[in-house]
């Protein structure tokens, strides 16, 4: 079976995890800081906060921005559930934005439309999603956000290694030069795997410090932040070694040294992983060209500098005369794994009950045609031909 995505684990990755197992610290140890330093180098961001998932990364950013009751966050409807659920969990309203029907990306136009549409809460943030690894037009989204007083949090969970064009120069995804923060996932199907893991990058030192507290229940051992001085210090003014304080509640969002050791080892191979993913994408382009017009790859996004997390095709199922489920079952029978990324979140029962009349035609059109086919570094060139042949047969 060729899955749609899979981690690539080598002997050096295993050795890195074994070294932690043989050491003294399985969590809260030096491997976390080493991973954060490696991701800072890869993204160009001065501050990195590692955590236990991409969802936790989004949650930390939303909490650090004080999103809460009375606020609203704009979220594109084509994304995973967590992008919308996170602002909801902080008490903010979610205002869904439509997307480009061919790329699935939030655009400046669909952002403006979402802001103009009446809804609960005052918009305070926008969460652009770099879907499939394709990077949104961050220069224009940042301009719209600035005009409306919105904080920008990039959902970059698909886009590690990609880049945006800002002021004529390439800026790595995660540098956070056009946003308050960028959030990453290191789930096994992502470009870099930690098993489960995530991180937030930012250029704001105070935001980073607050997120580090929030990922560990909100407490601190920093004497400079202590408020209950009588308990915090001994008679000589020296901090008591057992003392800590919690000024605001947080969560247990920490990443362990085991996960971070794997993540740091994987980051050393990021360039190789991306080179292979891009080569496979080019092979897919050529192998699938004869299946047009009933099947076409999604067009390249505005940055044309993608992270290539997923390879997605658009299929005119009506013209083919087969449903998507039938095509997916036929491919599975041929040993080809596929997936759909994603069901529009505004159609989920919970959110549909909040706004039953919301219609987002771009999101509906993208969802109706999209199918993710295999893309991961350990694929062989021959696997691409096998996928193309299976698709041709499944489509009749």
- Based on the domain organization, do 245 and 343 belong to the same domain? no
Residue 234 burial (10 A CB sphere; 0-12, 13-18, 19+): exposed
Over the stretch 162-183, which tens digit does the pLDDT of each residue have?
998 888 889 999 999 999 999 9
Asked if 82 contacts 58 with a C-beta cutoff of 8 angstroms, the reply is yes
Asked whether residue 122 is assigned to any structural domain, the reply reads yes
269 is catalytic: no
Residue 317 CA to residue 295 CA, distance in Å, equals 9
Average pLDDT, rounded, for the chain: 97
Domain of 385 in residue numbering reads as 270-394
Residue 83 CA to residue 92 CA, distance in Å, equals 12
Asked whether residue 4 is assigned to any structural domain, the reply reads no
Return the CATH number at 316.
Answer: 3.90.1150.10
Asked whether residue 369 is assigned to any structural domain, the reply reads yes
Q: What percent of the chain clears pLDDT 90, i.e. is strictly above it?
A: 94
Per-residue H/E/C for the chain:
CECCCCCCCCHHHHHHHHHHHCCCCCCCCHHHHHHHHHHHHHHCCCEEEEECCHHHHHHHHHHHCCCCCCEEEEEECCCCHHHHHHHHHCCCEEEEECCCCCCCCCCHHHHHHHHHCCCCCEEEEECCECHHHCCCCHHHHHHHHHHHCCEEEEECCCCCCCEEEECCEEEECCCCCCCCEEEEECCCCCCCCCCCCEEEEECCHHHHHHHHHHCECCEECCHHHCCCHHHHECCCCCECCCCCEECCCCCECCCCHHHHHHHHHHHCCHHHHHHHHHHHHHHHHHHHHHHCCCEEECCCCCCCCCCCCCEEEEECHHHHCCCHHHHHHHHHHCCECCECCCCCHHHCHHHHHHCCCCCCHHHHHHHHHEEEECCCCCCCHHHHHHHHHHHHHHCC
What distance lies between CA 249 and its chain's CA centroid?
A: 25
Over the stretch 32-41, which tens digit does the pLDDT of each residue have?
999 999 999 9
- Based on the domain organization, do 193 and 207 belong to the same domain? yes
- Based on the domain organization, do 239 and 304 belong to the same domain? no
- Based on the domain organization, do 255 and 369 belong to the same domain? no
- Based on the domain organization, do 247 and 341 belong to the same domain? no
Six-digit token string for 87? 């602002």
- Based on the domain organization, do 274 and 263 belong to the same domain? no
- Based on the domain organization, do 193 and 130 belong to the same domain? yes
- Based on the domain organization, do 44 and 143 belong to the same domain? yes
Residue 133 CA to residue 239 CA, distance in Å, equals 47
Asked if 226 contacts 260 with a C-beta cutoff of 8 angstroms, the reply is no
pLDDT computed for residue 214 by the predictor: 98
Asked whether residue 2 is assigned to any structural domain, the reply reads no
Half-sphere exposure of 119 (CA within 13 A, CB side): 24
On the question of pLDDT at 230 being above 90, the answer is no
- Based on the domain organization, do 208 and 114 belong to the same domain? yes
Over the stretch 236-260, which tens digit does the pLDDT of each residue have?
899 999 999 999 999 999 999 999 9
- Based on the domain organization, do 133 and 56 belong to the same domain? yes
> Which residue, of 240, 267, 294, is where some domain finishes?
267
Over the stretch 11-27, which tens digit does the pLDDT of each residue have?
999 999 999 999 999 99
Asked whether residue 75 is assigned to any structural domain, the reply reads yes
The neighbouring-strand residues paired with 129 are 155
The total domain count for the chain is 2
On the question of pLDDT at 302 being above 80, the answer is no
- Confidence category of residue 305, pLDDT binned at 50, 70, 90: confident
- Based on the domain organization, do 296 and 345 belong to the same domain? yes
Asked whether residue 316 is assigned to any structural domain, the reply reads yes
Q: What percent of the chain clears pLDDT 70, i.e. is strictly above it?
A: 100
CA-based max dimension of the chain: 83
Residues 21-60 as b or e (16 or more Cβ within 10 Å = b) = eeeeeeeebebbebbbebbbebbbbebbbbbbbbbbbbbb
The neighbouring-strand residues paired with 311 are 373
Six-digit token string for 23? 């050491």
Return the CATH number at 156.
Answer: 3.40.640.10
On the question of pLDDT at 394 being above 90, the answer is yes
On the question of pLDDT at 228 being above 90, the answer is no
Asked whether residue 1 is assigned to any structural domain, the reply reads no
pLDDT computed for residue 229 by the predictor: 80
pLDDT computed for residue 169 by the predictor: 87
**Candidates 88, 124, 158, 190; catalytic one:** 190
- Confidence category of residue 310, pLDDT binned at 50, 70, 90: very high
Higher per-residue confidence, 7 vs 167: 7
pLDDT computed for residue 352 by the predictor: 98
pLDDT computed for residue 354 by the predictor: 97
Residue 172 CA to residue 75 CA, distance in Å, equals 22
Q: Taking the complete model, does pTM exceed 0.95, yes or no?
A: yes
- Based on the domain organization, do 325 and 349 belong to the same domain? yes
Asked whether residue 5 is assigned to any structural domain, the reply reads no
Q: Once rounded to an integer, what is the mean pLDDT over residues 380-390?
A: 98
Over the stretch 63-119, which tens digit does the pLDDT of each residue have?
999 999 999 999 999 999 999 999 999 999 999 999 999 999 999 999 999 999 999
On the question of pLDDT at 188 being above 90, the answer is yes
> Which residue, of 242, 267, 292, is where some domain finishes?
267
> Which residue, of 235, 267, 299, is where some domain finishes?
267
Cα–Cα nearest to 363, from 144, 75, 73, 43: 75
């Amino acid at each position: 079976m060729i899955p749609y995505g899979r981690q690539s684990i080598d002997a050096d990755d295993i050795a890195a995890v074994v070294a932690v197992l043989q050491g003294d610290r399985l969590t809260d140890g030096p491997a976390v800081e080493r991973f954060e330093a490696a991701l800072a180098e890869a993204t160009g961001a001065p501050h990195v906060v590692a955590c236990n998932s991409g969802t936790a990364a989004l949650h930390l950013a939303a909490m650090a921005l004080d999103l809460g009751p009375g606020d609203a966050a704009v979220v594109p409807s084509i994304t995973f559930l967590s992008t919308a659920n996170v602002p909801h969990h902080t008490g903010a309203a979610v205002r869904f934005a439509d997307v480009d029907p061919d790329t699935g990306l939030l655009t400046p136009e669909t952002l403006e439309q979402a802001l103009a549409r009446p809804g609960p809460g005052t918009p305070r943030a926008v969460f652009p999603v770099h879907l499939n690894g394709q990077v949104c037009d961050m220069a224009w989204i940042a301009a719209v956000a600035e005009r409306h007083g919105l904080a920008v949090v990039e959902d970059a969970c698909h886009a590690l290694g990609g880049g945006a064009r800002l002021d004529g120069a390439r800026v790595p995804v995660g540098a956070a030069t056009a946003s308050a923060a960028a959030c990453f996932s290191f789930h096994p199907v992502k470009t870099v795997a930690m098993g489960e893991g995530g991180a937030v990058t930012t250029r704001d030192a105070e935001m980073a410090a607050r997120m580090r507290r929030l990922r560990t229940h909100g407490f601190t051992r920093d004497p400079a932040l202590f408020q209950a001085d009588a308990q915090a210090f001994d008679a000589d003014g020296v901090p008591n070694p057992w003392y800590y304080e919690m000024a605001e509640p947080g969560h247990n969002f920490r990443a362990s040294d085991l996960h971070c050791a794997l993540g740091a080892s994987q980051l050393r191979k990021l360039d190789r992983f991306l080179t292979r993913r891009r080569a496979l994408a080019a092979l897919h382009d050529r192998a699938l060209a004869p299946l047009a017009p009933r099947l076409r790859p999604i067009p390249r996004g505005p940055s044309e500098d993608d992270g290539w997390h997923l390879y997605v095709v658009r299929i005119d199922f009506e013209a083919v005369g087969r449903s998507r489920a039938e095509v997916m079952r036929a491919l599975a029978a041929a040993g080809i794994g596929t997936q759909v990324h994603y069901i529009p979140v505004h159609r989920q029962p919970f959110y549909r009950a909040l706004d039953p009349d919301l219609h987002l035609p771009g999101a509906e059109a993208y969802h109706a045609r999209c199918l993710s086919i295999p893309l991961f570094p350990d694929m062989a060139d021959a696997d691409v031909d096998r996928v193309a042949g299976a698709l041709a047969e499944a489509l009749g």
